[in-house]
Chain A
Amino acid sequence: MAKVSLENVTKRFDSTVAVDDVSIDIADGEVMGIVGPSGCGKTTALRLVAGFETATDGTIRYDDEDVTPVPPENRNVGLVFQSYALFNNMSVLGNVTFGPKMHGVGKAERRERARELLELLDIEELADRDPQTLSGGQQQRVGLARALAIEPRILLLDEPMTGLDAKLKQTLRQELGQLLDDLGVTTLYVTHDQEQAMSMCDRIAVMNDGHLEQIGTPAEIYEEPANEFVAGFIGTANLLDATVTDGRISFGFGDVDAPDGLRSSGDVTVLVRPDDIRVGDGEGDAAVEVTNLFYQGEHIQATGTLADGQELTLQLDRSLTNVETGDTLSVGFDPETLHVIRSTK
């Protein structure tokens, strides 16, 4: 295991800048997630760490060793692919013993190591199977066993759960999270699924258009997003235009007390999460005319329009089945749940 550092790393492909001056430190044993939309540069960042791409500028270190020019086969990195990428000309056991074989581990030892990992991942009965006959979940477990078999300094997970069904994804997420905790292996987890990242990672780096937008714990990212992009990408966000004057936040539809310690003033953008908005029929801070309702099982998501024309997304208790589009709901804001994320001036 090792700590990993990306120091001012830039990667250009001709005129395209895929990764732009990104710096990330991953502590020994930490699970770091990189999230962002398609094309944001997260996979390129992972490929730079793996050694498949060489940084145009900047340095990548494992502990204090500069590995920037080192080819992938000499980095001792475990990589789990979105496409599983199993060797279909080998059995499951052949796949798992392949890495140790390339590292010169003796036959008996590598087979024993592989058996232990297959047992750990609860797939020991698949040892002699052809990978093509396995389900997606089983293939992903084999891919993980294969990556761990070389006792990697760092484990890289590239969208490992994409393509699996929702139920399996949930099970695997729990198992994988537990496994990473138990093994204590330094992990870089790349995904576009912010929920997976939030539940599995110690810290998350949010990337957009090659830039690193914010890095922090899941709670920090969710509660205190650095900008509109992060606020919008992580969870559902209401971003409302407002003005701060004398400890009050003035929206177009009314005034609300500002959170304690707010130092901004003037025109701002305020983030408020749907689950932080009180919804009721009585007195509130504003009235919302419901325009759409989406039943989502555990709750109902409603969108509506405030008096000043701004849109607001609400999370309704699923017992509120009598709410219909066109109804007016009163909503209340708790000052401590309002987060001023940037001044508009």
Chain B
Amino acid sequence: MAADQVSMGTRATGAVRTAVGSVVSPTSERQREIRRIVALCLPFSVLLVFSGVFPLTEMFRISFSESRLVTEGFTLEYYRTMVNDPYYRNIAFNTLWFAAATTVASISIAVPVAHALEKYALPAKSVILTILSFPNSLPGIVAAFMIIILFGNTGVFTNLLAFLSGQSRIDVAISTGVLGLFFAYLYSMIPRALLLLRGTYSEINTDAEEAARVLGATPLQTFRYVTLPQIKPGLIGAFILVFRTGLAIFGTVLILKGLLVWTLQIDRELAQGFNIAQASAMATIWFVFVFGFTVFALRYTSAEVSI
């Protein structure tokens, strides 16, 4: 038994030496290719370990700590709280339905825009594209500010609505309500959906669409029977990307506070409650959920693509 273990250890050491040796002094094209891959990925790998894996591991450890501030002992109390306390369950529910609703709305708006942009020759197309992609680099706080300018107590639309309805501006202002937050989310999510959908649209087999037209399909029927199945992988990809964005939005919700969502509560646990362990447990759940969701959804997407 001991001899077997020694033998296994020797073999493993030998394998590592061979692998390192092939990277340092490659003798075949495949080994040279591996060396290039290692060289190209090394900086990111180092960053991933020190800025990603290490803090995530530490966060994971703290989430089981008996102390709220430091790593000490082991308890499942913070996870139990999230499961049993209706307050946290309600936040989880809010986060999920809001992200799902804004995702569906964003994609529903982005699909016709992507269709128009990719299918037709539009005047000043590059200007339109620049304007549409601009919100991608817009900080959440600025998006929130824009919503306040539009729908705040003294906002442009608020004034107009108050004038038309005869109600007070305070009554018709929606910037700090769920609806205001909804519009603010769309600022961030539509351009992301558009980016992905435009890429999908550019790969569509336009001959198949023309074949459908000539066979008697109206433009709407062509979209339903031919275009939609082709953009389905892109729609799923856009759903994953945009839904994750919806779960992660923080700056906007911090300013508008229209709905208590997961990221805002993590901030409150840290800033107001000094409860690092609870915040860590929430962040861990967030990470596991998003990671699991992405893996599951991508698997589904690739299955669709390969059919």
Contact = CB atoms under 8 A, between A and B. Distances in A.
Interface in B198-252: 205, 207-208, 210-218, 221, 225-226, 229-230
Contacts of A147: 215
A73 B214 contact: yes
B71 to A, nearest CB: 53
Interface string A106-133: 0000000000000000000000001000
Given A98-B225, A102-B221, A87 B208 contact: yes
Interface in A130-145: 130, 143
A81 interface: yes
A72 B210 contact: yes
Contacts of B225: 87, 98
B216 A73 contact: yes
Nearest to B213: A72
A93 to B, nearest CB: 15
A77 B214 contact: yes
Interface string A6-39: 0000000000000000000000000000000000
Interface in A62-93: 71-73, 75-79, 81, 83-89
Contacts of B217: 73, 98, 102
Nearest to B226: A87
Contacts of B208: 85-88
Interface in A220-237: none
A218 interface: no
The listed residue with most B CB atoms (<10 A of its CB), out of A79, A84, A87, is A87
B211 A50 contact: no
Contacts of B212: 87, 98, 102
Contacts of B226: 87, 89
Interface residues of A, number: 28
Nearest to B208: A85
B210 A73 contact: no
Interface in B162-218: 205, 207-208, 210-218
Main secondary structure of the interface of A (DSSP, over half): loop
B214 A79 contact: yes
A72 B209 CA distance: 11
A77 to B, nearest CB: 5
Contacts of A79: 210-211, 214
Contacts of B216: 73, 76, 99, 102-103, 150
Main secondary structure of the interface of B (DSSP, over half): helix
Contacts of A77: 214
Contacts, number: 67
B144 to A, nearest CB: 41
A102 B224 CA distance: 12
Contact of A85 (B205, B218, B229): B205
A304 interface: no
Contacts of A41: none
Given A87-B225, A87-B226, A89-B229, A102 B215 contact: yes
Nearest to B232: A89
Nearest to A80: B211
A72 to B, nearest CB: 5
Nearest to A51: B214
The listed residue with most B CB atoms (<10 A of its CB), out of A79, A83, A85, A147, is A85
A98 B215 contact: yes
Nearest to A130: B307
A85 B215 contact: no
Interface string A145-164: 01100100000000000000
Contacts of A78: 214-215
A99 B215 contact: yes
Given A102-B216, A102-B217, A103-B216, A81 B211 contact: yes
B214 A50 contact: yes
Nearest to A77: B214
A52 interface: yes
Interface in A44-61: 50-52
Contact of B215 (A52, A83, A130, A146): A146
Contacts of A51: 214
Contacts of A143: 211
19 contacts: A52-B210, A52-B214, A72-B213, A72-B214, A73-B214, A73-B216, A75-B214, A76-B216, A78-B214, A79-B214, A85-B210, A85-B211, A86-B211, A87-B211, A87-B212, A89-B226, A89-B229, A98-B217, A103-B216
Given A83-B205, A85-B205, A150-B216, 11 more contacts: A52-B214, A72-B210, A73-B213, A75-B214, A79-B210, A81-B207, A87-B208, A98-B215, A99-B216, A102-B215, A103-B216
Which 5 residue pairs spanning A and B have beta carbons closest together? Answer: A102-B216, A85-B207, A99-B215, A89-B229, A85-B211
